[in-house]
């Protein structure tokens, strides 16, 4: 352990300048039980000894607008993933990925009274298999919404284009709408698009991981004081792990973490026999990239990023949203959501009053148990 911890004082959260509105949407996080396990090095660097594999869910989000109806942000992995484009299915098998999907998202929706016909649009954060699901099971009236550059670079789908990452059946017979971030609207550092035109739900231009990658920003509560409105950021794959945007200059590693990510395990705390519920933040300093408490543990890797510099710029942008007490950041593969966040059919609108932000903030540090034990 470092003898002189560099525990920094936080910088003020930068203004996001979210447009004012009294309109809100109801948002639910959908866990279809999907699990994906593979090597971390494919997504993040530098390597941290003892943390070499990532096993994660793949969340989808239901957004319910009072007048515009229901939309989905991402569709997770389809249950019959073996029927993805051959190149993707073969890659999963040959690379030794462990992928399992108990139920499709549409099955879970219908089990709770939300019909496929009620879904007005499906938004893909991007075109990777663990987000695209199977749109073909939805009625042709359901629109498919994609990010900028998608049509020129991805279409046509397989089999017309043998190396396409998507199937022709994903979009055939339905409106394929490509978002253009051409207006002057900007939230945080990202170009934004007001999907319903009332300030309740925005798409954000978050490039780098793929061409046309987008995040979603939903206003889930509104008050007479605009500064108290609360939001949920649906992060897609803007980051693959919380350690890509935490710690940050706005949320540096604290001097003490309570509850400890290693509850009751005093080998992580000191050499006494007293189990503690508070863990020193400095305990993690030596596995930091630069031994700093105000930089994330990981950066996006160039192994899977379309543009690694833009991907890292986007991750820095997530830090700005994470710094805001009124924004809950939810990336698609955050396993730490499980056990804290109420999943569909419940909604996440009361996340702030339930204290989910604080409960989640440093929970990811438990993933470094193997690395820390070696100190």
pLDDT in tens, the chain (375 residues): 343 445 668 999 999 999 999 999 999 999 999 999 999 999 999 999 889 999 999 999 999 999 999 999 999 999 999 999 999 999 999 988 999 999 999 999 999 999 999 999 999 999 999 999 999 999 999 999 999 999 999 999 999 999 999 999 999 999 999 999 988 999 999 999 999 999 999 999 999 999 999 999 999 999 877 678 999 999 999 999 999 999 999 999 988 888 788 865 544 444 443 345 778 787 888 888 888 889 999 999 999 999 999 999 999 999 999 999 999 999 999 999 999 999 999 999 999 999 999 999 999 999 998 888 544
CA distances from 328 to 16, 81, 232, 318, 356 (A): 14, 30, 5, 11, 8
What is the predicted pLDDT for the residue at 140?
98
pTM for this entry? 0.94
Q: Which residues pair with 99 in a beta bridge?
A: 36
- Round to whole Å and give the CA distance between 334 and 98: 17
Backbone angles phi, psi at 318, to 5 degrees: -65, -30
C-beta separation of 141 from 174 below 8 A: yes
Taking the domains of the chain in order of start, what are their residue ranges?
26-247+301-373
**Which CATH number among 3.40.50.150, 3.30.390.30, 3.40.50.2300, 3.60.15.10 corresponds to the domain 26-247+301-373?**
3.60.15.10
Give me the sign of the Cα torsion angle 207, 147, 127, 73.
Answer: positive
- Round to whole Å and give the CA distance between 238 and 74: 13
């Amino acid at each position: 352990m470092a003898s002189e911890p560099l525990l920094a004082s936080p910088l003020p959260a930068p203004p996001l300048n979210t447009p004012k509105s009294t309109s809100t949407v109801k948002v639910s996080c959908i866990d279809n039980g999907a699990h994906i396990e593979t090597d971390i090095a494919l997504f993040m660097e530098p390597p941290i000894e003892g943390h070499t594999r990532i096993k994660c869910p793949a969340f989808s989000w239901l957004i319910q607008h009072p007048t515009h109806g229901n939309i989905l942000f991402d569709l997770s992995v389809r249950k019959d993933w073996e029927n993805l484009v051959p190149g993707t299915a073969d890659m999963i098998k040959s690379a030794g990925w462990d992928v399992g999907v108990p139920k499709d998202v549409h099955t879970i929706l219908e089990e709770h009274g939300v019909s496929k016909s009620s879904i007005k649009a499906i938004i893909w954060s991007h075109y990777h298999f663990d987000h695209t699901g199977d749109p073909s099971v939805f009625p042709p009236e359901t629109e498919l919404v994609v990010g900028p550059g998608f049509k020129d670079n991805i279409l046509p789908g397989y089999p017309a284009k043998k190396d396409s990452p998507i199937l022709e059946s994903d979009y055939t017979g339905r409106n394929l709408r490509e978002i253009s971030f051409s207006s002057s609207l900007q939230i945080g550092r990202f170009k934004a698009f007001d999907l319903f035109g009332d300030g309740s739900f925005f798409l954000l231009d978050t490039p780098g991981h793929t061409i046309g990658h987008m995040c979603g920003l939903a206003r889930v509560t509104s008050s007479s004081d605009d500064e108290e409105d609360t939001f949920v950021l649906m992060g897609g794959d803007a980051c693959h792990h919380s350690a890509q945007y935490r710690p940050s200059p706005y949320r540096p590693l604290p001097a003490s973490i309570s509850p400890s990510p290693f509850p009751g395990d005093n080998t992580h705390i000191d050499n006494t026999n007293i189990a503690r519920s508070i863990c020193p933040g400095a305990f993690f300093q030596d596995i930091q990239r630069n031994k700093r408490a105000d930089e994330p543990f990981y950066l996006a890797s160039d192994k899977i990023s379309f543009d690694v510099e833009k991907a890292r710029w986007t991750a820095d942008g997530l830090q700005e949203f994470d710094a805001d007490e009124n924004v809950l950041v939810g990336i698609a593969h955050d396993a730490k959501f499980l056990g804290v966040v109420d999943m569909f059919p419940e909604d996440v609108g009361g996340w702030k009053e339930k204290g989910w932000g604080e409960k989640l903030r440093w929970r990811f540090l438990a993933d470094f148990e193997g690395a820390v034990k070696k100190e």
